[in-house]
Amino acid sequence: MTEVDFVIVGSGSAGAALAARLSEDGKHSVLVLEYGGSDVGPFIQMPAALSYPMNMDRYDWGFASEPEPGLGGRRLVTPRGKVIGGSSSINGMVYVRGHARDFDHWAESGATGWAYADVLPYYKRMENWHDGGHGGDPDWRGKSGPLHVSRGKRDNPLFHAFVEAGRQAGFELTDDYNGEKQEGFGPMEQTVWKGRRWSTANAYLKPALKRSNLDLMRCFARKVVIENGRAVGVEIERGGKVEVVRARREVILSASSINTPKLLMLSGIGPGAHLSEYGIDVVADRPGVGKNLQDHLEVYVQQACTQPITLYKYWNLWGKARVGAEWLFFKTGHGASNQFESAAFLRSKPGVEYPDIQYHFMPIAVRYDGQAAAEGHGFQAHVGPMRSPSRGEITLKSADPAEAPRIVFNYMSTEQDWIDFRHCVRLTREIFSQPAFEPYRGKEIQPGADAQSDEALDAFIAENAESAYHPCGTAKMGRADDPMAVVDPECRVIGVDGLRVVDSSIFPRIPNGNLNGPSIMVGEKASDLILGKPPLPADNAEPWINPRWETSDR
């Protein structure tokens, strides 16, 4: 298949969903280009092993930021999936739609047709939701989509202590943050099904590849081929040879918020002066390509646990072997969950209309790279602000497609970032100090009881803040007359025919929470736009907004 109707670059969260939907009626030939290899194997499929694939060259592109001035010159790793299923095959499997107001903001900022009422039907279409007997909002959820969304068992008493502590501190509870009410403490949801990671490879791509009109090609995409202002194909490299696969109808970039702007620039679409620097002919001077880069940062507040009930008891060779064996043979036990089973979405202060802080809670004190705290038994909350004002950019280092782009997040570049982060740490301490944690609370492992002043907390944040791995926004969607917009509300690249971007690059502003869900939704909604189908009827369900939002943070 070297000439097809649609060529999609990338088999990730958006690309896999898009490929499945575009090939569904059998009328169009679709080719997915993917550089990465197979997702078969326990490191990807076992949910609890999530710290492995994102640190493995085999599955990860291996990107890192430039030294970040706001974080003391640290370079932060920026994992992106280089495997079937893309980042949905190496992520933390947390499922968050985002708050209704996030999407209303998209629409207000020029992404017409992407308000919550417009995207909610697509969330329902993609979901197969299992509440696990924990309640929730069935009317707001989908029951027959390809994406299984489930909840952990929450067997560990610490999951309940966290939620109860939130209640004791005066905050709201919610039994479904993906339903009517995001704000509050409650159960966390995961893309796990029958004990396995439910990536978009498992949900969409593998079932769809049984169709004769959908194919997957392992290759490296070098650039989009543009003739007379129209995208006609993709220049690829495979087996040491450079060739072109042609698209009769459209080329669609779903290559991630890092690789998509890189491909656009290599193809002559981007800030004209920057492209000319590297001798790239300018096809469309779009200054917004690579700009508007956003991410979520978080810190881990860790507390020692006085009872030996945390996952630390499995943090040895024998324990890991036992957990691994139970998962391998039965797909049950601790291996069958990502261990993020309780969560909270809170507002940082009065006057903030909807949550701008997210918590992931875990019954172990451990880092994303799998390093456990030396203190032994402990628990932790990952916490960070959701709407940082800082913006970064992706630029080219050279005109060589094999070279990674330059990534500058500009983390913590505004005073507001520091104010918000200090508040997050102090708020977590308030929650951990509630009576619900009395039976379990040992000493504070980090930041540590000595870190009380603004200066001490700032030093802790600069040294320890980690990316939540939610980069987005580098080819933002907006009005065609917005000079910084890269795609219009139909995901069409402005100034080039036959070319679209369908992935987290197009987010005008980062939504609340983890980005796998919104990225899949973009693939679902874009498929209808591309096929010229009428959009699903708007769903005007009204989200819960805290009646005290103007006067209280809880």
Residues 535 and 113: beta-carbon distance below 8 Å? yes
Rounded Cα gap, residues 212 and 483, in angstroms: 41
- Report yes or no on 338 lying in a domain: yes
| pLDDT value for 290 | 98
Whether residues 101 and 221 fall in one domain: yes
Whether residues 346 and 233 fall in one domain: no
- Report yes or no on 395 lying in a domain: no
Whether residues 288 and 419 fall in one domain: no
What residue numbers bound the domain in which 345 lies?
A: 153-187+297-385+413-464
Burial (CB count within 10 angstroms: exposed 0-12, middle 13-18, buried 19+), residue 1: middle
- Report yes or no on 246 lying in a domain: yes
Which of 464, 496, 527 is a domain's end point?
464
Whether residues 269 and 368 fall in one domain: no
486 appears as a binding residue in the annotation? no
Residue 407 host element (H or E):
strand 406-408
Whether residues 422 and 525 fall in one domain: no
501 appears as a binding residue in the annotation? no
DSSP code string of 485-527: -SB-TT-BBTT-BTEEE-SGGG-SSPPSS-SHHHHHHHHHHHH
Residue carrying structure tokens 């129209």: 230
20 appears as a binding residue in the annotation? yes
- Report yes or no on 554 lying in a domain: no
398 appears as a binding residue in the annotation? no
With 0.85 as the threshold, say if the pTM is over it.
yes
- Domain total in the chain: 2
- Report yes or no on 457 lying in a domain: yes
- Report yes or no on 145 lying in a domain: no
34 appears as a binding residue in the annotation? yes
CB contact set of 136 (below 8 Å; sequence gap of 6+):
129, 175, 176, 179
Q: Which of 99, 360, 382, 470 is catalytic?
A: 470
| pLDDT value for 2 | 85
29 appears as a binding residue in the annotation? yes
Rounded Cα gap, residues 327 and 329, in angstroms: 6
Q: Which residues of the chain have pLDDT under 50?
A: none
Residues 250 and 500: beta-carbon distance below 8 Å? yes
| Known catalytic membership, residue 377 | no
Whether residues 100 and 239 fall in one domain: yes
Whether residues 319 and 287 fall in one domain: no
Whether residues 451 and 500 fall in one domain: no
Whether residues 365 and 445 fall in one domain: yes
299 appears as a binding residue in the annotation? no
Residues 26 and 102: beta-carbon distance below 8 Å? no
Whether residues 86 and 221 fall in one domain: yes
Tell me the CATH number at 178.
3.30.410.40
Whether residues 425 and 509 fall in one domain: no
- Report yes or no on 488 lying in a domain: yes
| pLDDT value for 1 | 59
